[in-house]
Structure 1
């Protein structure tokens, strides 16, 4: 478990406790804190780890109460041109940021000409607030999906969050309006997803695809539609859209996967409502909610 650390210029600074005492510094970083081995090697090689202000080697034994400094926040290029645009920030601290993505905008550039994505807006926020860091999103949302997106504000935070995502320790909950009534009130869709050979933009359930697991719970039902809460264990492209279409209940508005464009909705009815995870620095629980956009609130009212 990583200790709580604050950003001070190019350094992350914290104090070691009893749980971190009495072991070689290299072992603390690699085995207890699970830092990438390459990063640990570079920290010691460049003398970018200090204990009580002194550069130390990997075999120096740590002690409770020592101040530890890691130089991991060196100035970086943003990685793309910053765009000034209003950005709804759901959570932010020294290490990470959660932004609320509206539907209709790409999360990141997929072609050289894309100059207006959520990543560009986050770059604009970094520039305005003096953050000299590469824009790093931890997971993705489709263009017409709205909701919470997690970003790291330095390379170490990105490495730790990427690993937690791989270990399924970042819980992502979505709300989805689908066609029809489901027979089951809750369930798990464990079906691999691969590319559709006949349509370059589509994905499909395929025995040769990658593992994909979606849990769902029916929150509300109407005569010809239902509101589901979905939780992902994996993050395959179009995963919820493919899995719900496979069940025979495509998303309202998702014409790519068999849904119908009804109720004036110009997008698929999918919203990333909640993110929940333990903070990589200090392990406190972070739970972030993204309010439903007006068009989904209106859809719920029209169905009711």
Structure 2
């Protein structure tokens, strides 16, 4: 059963996992021993190494004269972990964050429950902008937000002309709901690609989800409408991707590029083979990866003029994020979020079927 929690302002309260606490305690026993036992152990070791000392002790016992006991060296005792430290470890708090929370007294244990200050107020980082359509939240809790990104809206500002971005709309959503946390996207989508985008709320979630992204543990599945008859035996495109030195915005398959692998599944042939609906799964996350790989295989996406596609049927690349899978940063639960085809792609699919 997934771990539950209660949000109390900046604090998260949850039941402690007893099995993990016991495991942490067993692996971190206190090394402090009674002084008498340590002195006796030192004396025994000294006599074993020095027979004359043992003989002298026996003579002293026979004559009832006390013999001074050798002084034991200073013992450095390693203190046992506190209940708060054990709780932080059992709940999976990263070491650096755990040290800061423990130092500030922001981990509290009462019986079998723990309270952690995992959601201190943060600056949004982006100007909130409210739009007529608002934000379509596909999944949300105290740690994560998954939203639908429409085609034509960049995920974040690019340093050029001031434009509306998804970051501005998410900032407005947080403000409207009283969420004082930084707007932090875990991954991105191209400006004219639609689909789900994952945001992390607070440092704890940021650390956990960014680590999943680095470890390629976040699953991303896409649907695309490609030109031509994609063969069923086209299952994988494994070709490195690098910059195109002749075009700043383009990428290309290049022997000196970064490793890139895309899995391909033919879903449906359209218009007697003039187009194909394909499902694509990313094993890596290179810029324009799906677009580059499909064009390289000879099946550019409909509407993708940058990579050889025609825009006679659609004015943007026919690419959409179908689903997103990740592990919840706090509970460890497997989360899968689906995002249905937007109107423009569904309409084009209906026309081509």
Q: TM-score, normalised by structure 2?
A: 0.77
Separation in 2, partners of 1:27, 1:200: 51
Structure 2 counterpart of 1:50, from 84, 102, 108? 108
* C-alpha contact 2:170 2:183 (8 A) present in aligned 1: yes
Aligned partners of 1:6 and 1:94 also within 8 Å: no
Instruction: Determine the C-alpha separation between the residues in 2 that align with 1:103 and 1:294.
Output: 11
Which stretch shifts more, 37-46 or 85-94?
A: 37-46
Instruction: Supply the distance in 2 between the matched residues of 1:189 and 1:157 (Cα, whole angstroms).
Output: 33
Aligned length: 290
CA distance in 1, matches of 2:235, 2:303: 23
| Of 189-198 and 89-98, the range deviating more from structure 2 | 189-198
Deviation at 1:173, TM superposition (A): 0.8
Q: Provide the C-alpha distance between the structure 2 equivalents of 1:28 and 1:170, rounded to a whole number of angstroms.
A: 27
- 8 Å contact 2:187–2:197 — kept in the other structure? yes
Alignment correspondent of 1:62: none
Q: Give the alignment partner of residue 284 of structure 1, picking from 290, 308, 333.
A: 333
In structure 1, runs of 5+ residues without a counterpart are: 53-64
Residue 126 of structure 2 is aligned to residue 80 of structure 1: yes
Larger Rg, first or second structure (1 or 2): 2
1:39 to 97, 100, 108: 97
Whose helix proportion is higher, 1 or 2? 2
The equivalences for 1:164-183 within 5 A come to 164-183=212-231
| Aligned counterparts, 1:178-193, within 5 A | 178-193=226-241
Bigger strand share: 1
RMSD: 2.0
CA 1:275–1:45: 2 relative to 1, 3 Å:
same
Cα distance, 1:137 vs structure 2:
0.8
Give the unaligned 5+ runs of structure 2: 25-80
Question: Larger deviation: 278-287 or 136-145?
Answer: 278-287
2:20 is matched with: 20
User: How far 1:226 sits from its partner (Å)?
Assistant: 0.6
Q: Distance in 1 between matches of 2:249 and 2:86?
A: 46
> Are the aligned partners of 2:4 and 2:331 in contact in 1 as well (CA < 8 Å)?
yes
Which residue is equivalent to 1:303?
A: 352
Q: Which runs of 4+ in 1 moved over 4 A?
A: 24-30
Deviation string 1:159-205 (CA, Å, 9 cap, x unpaired) is 11111222222211100111111223451222222211111111112
Q: Distance in 2 between matches of 1:28 and 1:189?
A: 45
> Which of 176, 194, 200 pairs up with 1:152?
200
